[in-house]
Amino acid sequence: MSSTPTWVQLIYLACAVCFILALKGLSSPKHARAGNLLGAVGAIVAVVTVFFAADINHLVPILIAIAVGTVIGVIGARKVLMTQMPQLVALFNGVGGLAAAVVALLELSDRVGHGGEPKFDLAMTAFTILVGTVSFAGSMLTFAKLQELMTSRPVLFPGLPVLFGLAIIGALALAVFVVTDPMVWIGIALGIVGLALGVLLVLPVGGADVPIVISLLNAFTGLTVAAGGYVLGNTVLLVGGTLVGASGTILTKLMAAAMGRSVVNIMFGALKGGSTLGAGTVSDRPVRSAGPEDIAILLEYASKVIVVPGYGLAVAQAQHTLRELVDVLTARGVAVDYAIHPVAGRMPGHMNVLLAEAQVPYEQLKEMDDINSQFKQTDVVLVVGANDVVNPAAKTTPGAPIYGMPILNADEANQIVFLKRSMRPGFAGIENELLFDPKTTLLFGDAKDSLGKLLNAVKAL
């Protein structure tokens, strides 16, 4: 770093502080918007600084690439629905890993033949190529699963564990060759093996486990950026990548804990039948259903209501109608809270962001650990588009894909109302016995349409 001007180092330090403060801001919904903007400002300043800090070749193609990327980013941010946000995260994460791997390959080609390269620098180069390509291939596969371009169920075939083990051995051998005898073709071969490893890593993962894998791959990308920053001698890449790697790792562990399983079990559980498989069959068992007028009476005479939002709410884009319904109930003296499960939706914070978009007061959003004890004193639980996060099988059915996962104790309430499109099971692919409980009433239909009818019925009382 001695060749980097002092003023550049100071700017990079300021950008790194922006990233740290941004991460802190993102830990709270109240400060998330400001944190996001602060992180974006830090990234923009870091990129602009590069143009003034060094002589840059091929300036025009670089500017064109930045312009194209900016246009794609702006269009994506404005057009992508909240329901598709996990897929967008997977794409961005994969592209980041591939970019780090390509930069590492270019650095390797520049250094070949010069001799005297520090072994640790070459080790970091090999690490960046391998993990970056693993992250890219794995992220593309998670995108395909979530976008339903392929089955969301685990994909298994005879010999997969053996092939995966051979790929790991081959990757390690090629990484050693990069360090001991650096050549471009070895780096390319390492990248190809990394792509195969990424595919083999994600194929056995299915159902509700896919978002957790996205978080893990995000941590991988962060580590590759950090390693690339070391190779390039760039402080801001080193700090930013380390932050992403560390936060992604912590998030992955927290999500796994919320599922009641280990990361290893999530990644490889399907090999012995332990994954959340998804894509279950539609039940034909009889249930008790009612119209919006009957549900409105239940809500009107309740003193305490808890709303459990899920992915179905996001799909229907019904958050604004739900907030209006809650506002009407609150104005009539009904105490209403939202129970937020850590893995509700398709990514951490999915429900928080969705409800914040509808300007739901943050004070009404209650985390699982804070609200679970209140269900016994609750008159009505309104489950909107959620399923697995209230499924008692997590507590009562050993061998179920979600067994051991902490859930919201909706079954302890006096009355449970489910808003569902059909009897199709949740992402875990198993029946929810709570649907057949005598205390449970179902209101079938699109969540936005059902909530609209329910809102009108409540207003008419």
The pLDDT assigned to 449 comes to 92
Q: Where does 54-84 have alpha helices with state H?
A: 59-79
Most confidently modeled range among 81-95, 283-297, 440-454:
440-454
What number of CA atoms fall less than 13 Å from residue 352's CA on the CB side? 21
**Cβ(389)–Cβ(344) under 8 Å?**
yes
- Separation of alpha carbons 246 and 52, rounded Å: 30
- Separation of alpha carbons 211 and 276, rounded Å: 12
Question: Percent of the chain having pLDDT more than 90?
Answer: 42
Of the candidates 97, 199, 216, 202, the one whose C-alpha atom is nearest the C-alpha of residue 152 is 202
Lowest mean pLDDT among 131-140, 332-341, 425-434: 425-434
Question: Three-state DSSP class for 307?
Answer: strand
The pLDDT assigned to 458 comes to 92
Pairing of strands 415-420, 365-367: unpaired
Tell me the average pLDDT across 11-24.
91
- Separation of alpha carbons 338 and 382, rounded Å: 9
Question: Three-state DSSP class for 441?
Answer: strand
- Separation of alpha carbons 455 and 280, rounded Å: 32
Lowest mean pLDDT among 4-8, 34-38, 207-211, 246-250: 207-211
Pull the structure tokens for residue 32. 């998330």
Q: Where does 26-118 have alpha helices with state H?
A: 32-53, 59-79, 85-111
Does position 323 have pLDDT exceeding 90, yes or no?
yes
Question: Percent of the chain having pLDDT more than 70?
Answer: 92
**Cβ(345)–Cβ(310) under 8 Å?**
yes
> Per DSSP, what are the bridge partners of residue 367?
340
Does position 2 have pLDDT exceeding 50, yes or no?
no
Start-to-end CA span in the chain (Å):
71
∠ CA 434-435-437, rounded to 5°: 60
The pLDDT assigned to 253 comes to 86
pLDDT digits 0-9 by tens, 140-171: 999 998 887 887 777 888 888 899 999 999 99
Q: Which CATH class is domain 292-460?
A: alpha beta
Burial class (CB in 10 A: 0-12, 13-18, 19+), 29: middle
Q: Provide the edge-to-edge strand list for the sheet that holds 380-384.
A: 365-367, 335-340, 304-309, 380-384, 415-420, 440-444
- Separation of alpha carbons 453 and 435, rounded Å: 21
The pLDDT assigned to 7 comes to 87
pLDDT digits 0-9 by tens, 59-115: 889 899 999 988 988 888 788 877 777 888 889 889 999 999 999 999 888 877 666
- Separation of alpha carbons 24 and 29, rounded Å: 11
**Cβ(350)–Cβ(85) under 8 Å?**
yes
∠ CA 130-136-141, rounded to 5°: 125
Of the candidates 354, 341, 454, the one whose C-alpha atom is nearest the C-alpha of residue 408 is 341
Pull the structure tokens for residue 225. 């950026």
Tell me the average pLDDT across 281-299.
83
- Separation of alpha carbons 366 and 96, rounded Å: 34
Question: pLDDT tier at 1 (50, 70, 90 boundaries)?
Answer: very low
Higher pLDDT, 262 or 204: 204
Amino acid present at 420? K
Amino acid present at 419? L
Question: Three-state DSSP class for 380?
Answer: strand
Domain ranges of the chain: 80-272, 292-460
Tell me the average pLDDT across 18-23.
92
Tell me the average pLDDT across 227-231.
88
Of the candidates 55, 39, 143, the one whose C-alpha atom is nearest the C-alpha of residue 91 is 143
pLDDT digits 0-9 by tens, 409-443: 999 999 999 998 877 776 666 788 899 989 999 99
Residues 6+ apart with CB under 8 A from 420: 312, 385, 387, 435, 442, 443, 444
Does position 277 have pLDDT exceeding 70, yes or no?
no
The pLDDT assigned to 428 comes to 65
Does position 383 have pLDDT exceeding 90, yes or no?
yes
- Separation of alpha carbons 184 and 191, rounded Å: 11
The pLDDT assigned to 404 comes to 81
Pull the structure tokens for residue 40. 């974006």
- φ, ψ of residue 30 in degrees (nearest 5): -65, -35
Amino acid present at 461? L
Pull the structure tokens for residue 445. 């239909």
**Cβ(226)–Cβ(183) under 8 Å?**
no
Does residue 446 carry a catalytic annotation? no
- Separation of alpha carbons 339 and 341, rounded Å: 7
The pLDDT assigned to 113 comes to 65
The pLDDT assigned to 294 comes to 92
The residue from 388, 437, 446, 449 that is catalytic is 388
Question: pLDDT tier at 339 (50, 70, 90 boundaries)?
Answer: very high
